[in-house]
A = this chain, B = another copy of it.
Amino acid sequence: MGDLTEPGGKARLFVEGPLGPHMRVTPSPEQAHYLLHVMRAKPGERVSLFNGRDGEWRAEIAEVAKRNCTLVCETQTAPQTQAPDIWLVFAPVKKTPADYLTQKATELGVRALQPVFTRRTIVTRVNLERLRANAIEAAEQSDRTDVPETREPLPLEKLLARWPAERKLLFCDEAGDAPSIADALKDVRGGPWAVLTGPEGGFDPKERELIRAMPSVVPVTLGTRILRADTAALAALAVWQSLAGDWR
């Protein structure tokens, strides 16, 4: 009997409902379409499910109709885990780079995605549904059992005003008088942390002053080459995971 949980024919789906022994799950219409018409799944075949709370479950495809099917949980295949306590706070960028940034940040293991509007941010709205869909898809593909939280965008001033005091703010500062990221993180283990990156064009001088005045700020540099905002964000996340996060 085919097994869609194996690499090559992989079906790993995020669902909203509870998962547990013998529990029945109805996939969304899009998921049912994917299973039945893209993967051509047959009754008795297996898929992997997770919901962000109950770990990963192997489930059997049962009761296949033309447009839908039921999935029945068999055994838990992975315990529930959570990404390290690192947020990505980012100025929203255009559609394709935003999709890319969300997917990569999810793979790199962020716990939350927080869009922030700054003075030089060109994009004026964030499609939160699209942000969430990208985060879910990347969580499915990267074998996460959790999905990063996707937050309502906030103006920078408001975000900083309500910033939780204990959460360190890794600020990728273009000005260049900050220590290197490796030096700044060399004795750090675990969260709570956040990576903050600006829009194309950077933060304006007043914003930079505001950020640097935060008691929890840790300004760092990522070398002398100019990085695009999304490159800086992904690089900072990777270095944080490697030194302070769960890659170690």
Chain B hits for A104, CB < 8 A? 228, 231, 234
Number of interface residues of A (CB under 8 A): 38
Contact with B along A213-248 (1 / 0, CB 8 A): 000000001111111100100111011011101111
Residue A143 at the chain B interface, CB threshold 8 Å: yes
Chain B hits for A181, CB < 8 A? 242, 247
Q: Check A243/B182 contact, CB under 8 A, given A107-B227, A228-B107, A235-B108.
A: yes
How far is A176 from B226 in the complex, measured between Cα atoms in Å? Answer: 33
Nearest-neighbour CB distance to chain B for A44, whole angstroms, equals 26
Chain B hits for A26, CB < 8 A? none
Residue A141 at the chain B interface, CB threshold 8 Å: yes
Contact with B along A78-120 (1 / 0, CB 8 A): 0000000000000000000000100110011100000000000
Across the interface, A142 reaches (CB within 8 A) one of B142, B144, B225, B242, namely B225
How far is A227 from B107 in the complex, measured between Cα atoms in Å? Answer: 6
With A100-B100, A109-B223, A143-B225 known, 10 other A-B pairs at CB within 8 A are: A107-B228, A108-B231, A108-B235, A141-B228, A142-B225, A180-B247, A182-B243, A182-B248, A234-B234, A234-B235
